Structure 1
């Protein structure tokens, strides 16, 4: 399998929970497994997390687990017959106080605050924008609408307001409980759905820090950018998060499909400038839910995300409930590897106008620059927290980065970093012995051989977080 810098996030579900198939998917290229808390019961997620750890160990890989919180349920209720067929021009009532099942005249709401968030003339987009309702009047808990674009509306379909403006909080009571569950099985990443601003992410961070006092484990936070309100707050959200997800589904419904490609490029660029990780998601290989090969448009979509510099591409229903989960992973891995071969790996431009005030960050940048110009076969980062490897991964380079850490938690988190292969290695002995062990590890894996050069970064005090202050260029004898 070709070396690949871009990582693959695969959602676990009924189609991919067989241990043998999951192991095949991991060997084919899955780096992060996503557990979607919008579906399934608490015990399901606990058991799947345990399964992932067991299968990954059997495959000889360490994966990251990402727990994706559901967020506010801005959805219609249930229908008497499971669904209705709405006709354009018909009247339809969304009723926050309705308890009985819906019919052709109207339906209840899971989100009781919707009548307060809308005004006459607003457009409500249901079922990912396939159905459009125009708000005609608000009467107490009832939103009277006229069907602008009709179609089949079934139980619990989502609701978006064109242009955004829904006030539902990003974190619900269910999310608080799910977050505690995710902490119990040591999820490496928590994805927060529908954050509007930095305060939403700061609340999630506070809850994680409180839970960490009991579990001793603190996950990294991913902000899912899927609300129109999040766009003007993007930089402050980035500053409050460890990374973002370009969640193109709900985002496209709120801002319009045509606006999303440029927003995707901007989000990826900003994430890298802020030294944050970024995942590109939604419909990456949608047709492979039912077909064994992707469309040409999907191939281009994945490749363009890679060329933009995304850390990872994410598969949702393709691996959770699709017919070809393994084939989908294989296709994405091949597309990523092929796109990376076409990339300019010269990092020089990335340093223009940049000022690095930290010693450890300057060492990381020096390693990238030097390794590229000397033709090194690898860059090795001896890291406790993973920061050195993260900084390196934010810049373009064709030189693979191998991050050696004594901490399993750090190794798993680094599984999401672009162009970084994390490896576990004890660093408790003196520095010279650790450096010799690092070179031996590279030779054993066939990464370097006699006559090859590699760059290695470390700290004078081994194992101290933030202590990287040394860059060494080595030649294998």
Structure 2
């Protein structure tokens, strides 16, 4: 059984070299993340071109995820680059300050004084430094240090419980959407969306730029959790962005939220990426901790489509080893997990779409008869997406002549995309697919295989055929 859970790797200084990138893809990377918080438009375009050249050379589908920076909710810089705060110290966040000192620091996010009031708790960095607001006077936010530590330049700011009004899409993001469309990114991740309106705006800008990428909403604000259902409806998938989310809602709340978000996304046929500190220790270590392995395995058992590496592959000492560790973890978790047929399917009152009905009929058949493989002939990838939500123990090979669909399906759990030439006659296409599977050793004479496709061509999947393979 091929590995079902997909792996996303962030590119950076440790993984930009083509030789390293080739090793990452050979090791099992299915999607690369371009972090638009760093680098120029040309940098991202060059990296995308390199990824696609290597993927084509290796004959593997690799999707490109363009991750927008989002609003810079950060402090400014210090004259000395960093200071140390102690519990009980008073400290001022000043939107008018240019270079910080021991007493105050400037703000990249100039609206902060309008977003807080006495009693609010601000968390800096990854929440290691906590400040309680005492008063707001003009551009100045007066605080008392609750938990101190070393505070360095440009650390992020979160408010406990949410409530910062920064828009999800900045002027930079709007330009970056144009860049992502031009390099034909397969997915775009929108940082800090608070509602469906943020995702609708991103899609409007993307369409205006001529792009057709899938939109991934990064769930990292308290407001996003409250508005999860509408955000899911407006998106093609979500990223469980556990770093900023944990700072806002508290570490202890994240595991249950992760499970809930993945469950809700699956029920709505949306893809999910679980991110942040998956193998964090491997930035400096060639092996993960047991806790990290357990964390990644639990995400797999939760049903996530993909797990993501951030600093591990972007700046770590062992990027290839981190991918290999994830592959081992995913495979073992999948072996121990049961085939997932969701309660939504089992308890559904009825299906509204023909392609959904066909897919669900195949799910039922796969649980009651011995199938060696499923071959989904698809143009848009929709039938493959339906199958990816429910099929667990039968390999699903999604055949398409669309390069765009081929790459996009690289993120779907349990789906193995295959690019084939355009064949006008459907029966000839089925014979071509059968020959491909036989030649690759995926099936053998006498095996039972299911095929789904649309008739006439261009229609959604409306046909299901199951038959025993004969050698041709």
TM-score class normalised by the smaller sequence:
over 0.9
For the 8 Å contact 1:76–1:108, the answer to whether it is kept is yes
Check if 1:119 corresponds to 2:86: no
In structure 2, the partner of 1:44 is 43
Structure 1's unaligned 5+ residue stretches are none
Which position in structure 2 is the counterpart of 1:416? 411
How far, CA to CA, are the matches of 1:47 and 1:219 in structure 2?
A: 18
Q: Distance in 2 between matches of 1:153 and 1:50?
A: 38
Matched, 1:430 2:425: yes
Q: Secondary structure at the match of 1:433?
A: helix
Residue by residue over 1:301-354, the C-alpha shift from the partner in whole angstroms, topping out at 9 and shown as x without a partner, is 000000000000000000000000000000000100000001111638553221
| CA–CA separation in structure 2 for the residues paired with 1:178 and 1:148 | 38
Once the two structures are overlaid, the 10-residue window that deviates more, 276-285 or 86-95, is 86-95
> Partner residue of 1:25?
24
- Partner in structure 1 of residue 93 of structure 2: 94
The question of whether the paired residues in 1 share the 8 Å contact of 2:342 and 2:390 is answered with no
| 1:387 Cα offset (Å) | 0.3
Please name the residue that 1:389 is paired with: 384
Q: Please report the TM-score for the alignment, with normalisation by the length of structure 2.
A: 0.98
The residue correspondences of 1:110-149 to structure 2 (distance < 5 A) are 110-149=108-147
Say whether the 8 Å CA contact 1:92–1:106 is kept in structure 2.
Answer: yes
* Distance in structure 2 (CA, Å) of the matches to 1:298 and 1:346: 24
Q: 1:325 aligns with which of 309, 319, 325?
A: 319
In the alignment, which residue of structure 2 is the partner of 1:164? Answer: 162
- Say if 1:371 and 1:454, in contact at 8 Å, map to a contact too: no
Match of residue 297, structure 1, among 291, 301, 315: 291
C-alpha distance in 2, partners of 1:223/1:346?
Answer: 24
Residue in 1 that maps onto 2:76: 77
Whole-Å Cα distance in 2 between the matches of residues 378 and 9 of structure 1?
Answer: 25
Is 1:338 equivalent to 2:332 in the alignment?
yes
Q: CA deviation at 1:58?
A: 1.7
Q: Which runs of 5+ in 2 are unaligned?
A: none
Residue 426 of structure 1 deviates from its aligned partner by: 2.7
Instruction: Give every structure 1 segment of 4 or more consecutive aligned residues whose post-TM-superposition deviation is greater than 6 Å.
Output: none
> 2:468 maps to what in 1?
475
| Post-superposition offset of 1:54 | 1.2
Counterpart CA distance in 2 for 1:352 and 1:192 is 33
| Alignment match, 2:8 | 9
Task: Answer whether contact 2:400 2:406 (CA < 8 A) is retained.
Answer: yes
Match of 2:106 in 1: 108
For 1:309 and 1:348, the matched residues in 2 are separated by: 10
Residue in 2 aligned with 1:372? 367
CA RMSD of aligned residues (A): 1.1
Comparing 355-364 with 276-285, greater Cα deviation is found at: 355-364
Q: Which residue of 2 aligns with 1:60?
A: 59
Aligned in 2, Cα 1:346/1:104: closer, same or farther, shift over 3 Å?
closer
- Whole-angstrom CA distance in 1 between matches of 2:344 and 2:205: 36
1:372–1:399 CA contact under 8 A, matched in 2 = no
For residues 186-219 of structure 1, the C-alpha deviation after alignment (integer angstroms, 9 at most, x for no partner) is: 000000000000000000011111111xxxx410
CA contact (8 A) 2:162 2:222 kept: yes
Call closer, same or farther: CA 1:346–1:113 in 2, change over 3 Å: closer
CA separation of 1:149 and 1:47: change in aligned 2, threshold 3 A: same
Contact 1:350 1:396 in 2 (8 A): no
SS in structure 2 opposite 1:137? strand
CA distance in 1, matches of 2:340, 2:135: 58
